[in-house]
Amino acid sequence: MSQTHSSQSSKLLFHVPIILIVAGLLATLFTAWTEPLIPIGQSVINPEQFAYTVIPTSENQNSTILSPDVGIVAGHYGNDSGAVCPDGLREVDVNLNNASLVQKMLAEKGIKSEILQEFDPKLSGYRASLLISIHADSCAFINEEASGYKVSAALSNPQPDKSARLIACIRSHYASTTGLRLHNSVTNDMTNYHAFNEIHPETVAAIIEVGFLNLDRVILTQKPEVIAAGITNGILCYLNNEDIVTTPTP
CB of 92 to Zn ion, least distance (A): 8
Report the residue number, 69 or 137, with the smaller CB distance to Zn ion.
Answer: 137
Q: Where are the beta strands (DSSP E) in 93-215?
A: 113-116, 130-137, 150-153, 204-212
3-state secondary structure of 117: coil
Q: Are 206 and 150 in contact (CB under 8 A)?
A: no
Q: How far is CA 110 from CA 47, 105, 224, in A?
A: 10, 9, 21
Name the β-bridge partners of 206.
132, 153
CB of 221 to Zn ion, least distance (A): 16
Q: Are 100 and 115 in contact (CB under 8 A)?
A: yes
- Stretch near Zn ion under the rule CB under 5 A, chosen from 72-80, 121-129, 182-190, 219-227: 72-80
Report the residue number, 186 or 244, with the smaller CB distance to Zn ion.
Answer: 186
- Stretch near Zn ion under the rule CB under 5 A, chosen from 20-28, 50-58, 71-79, 226-234: 71-79
Report the residue number, 69 or 91, with the smaller CB distance to Zn ion.
Answer: 91
Q: What stretch of H or E contains 249?
A: none
CA-only gyration radius of the chain, Å = 28
Among positions 117-156, residues that touch Zn ion (CB under 5 A) are 135
Using rule CB under 5 A, residue 82 touches Zn ion: yes
CB of 150 to Zn ion, least distance (A): 11
| Per rule CB under 5 A, count of chain residues that contact Zn ion | 3
Report the residue number, 69 or 93, with the smaller CB distance to Zn ion.
Answer: 93
Residue from 69, 71, 73, 75 binding Zn ion (CB under 5 A): 75
Residue nearest to Zn ion (CB): 135
Backbone angles phi, psi at 113, to 5 degrees: -145, 165
Q: What is the DSSP letter of 19?
A: H
Query: Residue numbers of the site for Zn ion (CB under 5 A)?
Result: 75, 82, 135
